[in-house]
Amino acid sequence: MIQQSAVHSHVTQLTQEIQQHSQPLRRIMGQINQVLVGQEKLVHRMLIGLLANGHILIEGVPGLAKTTAVSSLAKTINTGFQRLQFTPDLLPADLIGTLVYHPQDQTFVVQKGPIFSNLILADEINRAPAKVQSALLEAMQERQVTIGSETYPLDQPFLVMATQNPVEQEGTYQLPEAQTDRFMLKVMVDYPSRNEELQILRRMSKTSAKFEVSSVTSPEEIMAARELVDQIYVDEKVENYVVDLVMATRTPEAYGLQLGELIQFGGSPRATIYLTMAAKANAFLAGRGYVTPQDVKDIALDVLRHRVMITYEAEAEDRTSESIVNEILDHIPTP
């Protein structure tokens, strides 16, 4: 009883702090919504990635303002930003940097690449060949880059937000599973509704249409918010719910789901970690010091859709990883 009272007191105090420290995030949303129309979910997911220190993969057909969304987010934070346009002829050195020889004093000097920044927009990442995609792996996972024999840490916060066109488009390379698993979230961007399209028409159908966002927060405020996200309370029942969801992608029969022939690989322990961290960030954005099962449910599809590998049988039945994850979410009882 004493322990429950202590937890309640901690959560109450934390909620008050969160409501104070979430103001910069609300200012960010306000600035971006001045530029974007109908992309509230994308903006919300980008903020979750920022708070939970997780990279984001954004997929959608060209022209849906994916690049605009990421660049607008970067401008609202007074921090370093680099946009990398991935192309088939890009080299790893173009990304991470290289050693340059100075003949005057016969020495090699490190020339750092654009990856040495805080927010990285990897635009059309699936247009780059495998060597360049793999060059991102160490930076994304280890927050460091190796040039020659030296290893250089990257500044914090460090966040990669990559955009890609669907793999059916010409001139693209499908991202390997090891690469996609490094992304905390995979967000699908769809076409706007009719009303939203009408707003876009009225706002943007001018040759002089240009919208600027202002810098409304700093890296220090983002790092302070992250510290609060780490303290958010997760009840044991919610923890078990997260584990059950991920385990059901590996051994669906154990949960009464007839999906074994449709799933080739399920979510790894990284999925469990990321789902919990993203749920905490979702609670933070809602102004709460505790995670609810709905926080987990709201974010689960974006965490799991690129971690559930389907079989040929699933493809033959026109099943997708999304439909399988949704079936698991509907089946596993919510605490």
Residue 304 domain boundaries: 232-331
Q: Are residues 43 and 180 in the same domain?
A: yes
pLDDT for 129 equals 80
Is residue 211 domain-resident? no
- Other residues' Cβ atoms within 10 Å of the Cβ of residue 273: 16
CATH of the domain at 277: 1.10.8.80
Is residue 1 domain-resident? no
Number of domains in the chain: 2
pTM for the whole structure:
0.88
CA distance 32 to 48: 15
Q: Are residues 73 and 198 in the same domain?
A: yes
Q: Are residues 278 and 152 in the same domain?
A: no
* Dihedral sign from CA coordinates of 211, 215, 221, 222: positive
Is residue 86 domain-resident? yes
Is residue 10 domain-resident? no
The 10s digit of each residue's pLDDT in 136-148 is 877 888 888 888 7
Q: Are residues 169 and 305 in the same domain?
A: no
Average pLDDT value for residue range 274-292: 92
Q: E-assigned strands of 140-182? A: 144-147, 150-153, 159-164
Q: Are residues 34 and 87 in the same domain?
A: yes
- Where among 187, 203, 219 does a domain terminate? 203
For residue 236, name the pLDDT band (cuts at 50, 70, 90). Answer: very high
Q: Give yes or no for residue 163 having a pLDDT over 90.
A: no
The 10s digit of each residue's pLDDT in 246-275 is 999 999 898 888 888 888 888 889 999 999
Length reported for the chain:
335
Q: Are residues 187 and 264 in the same domain?
A: no
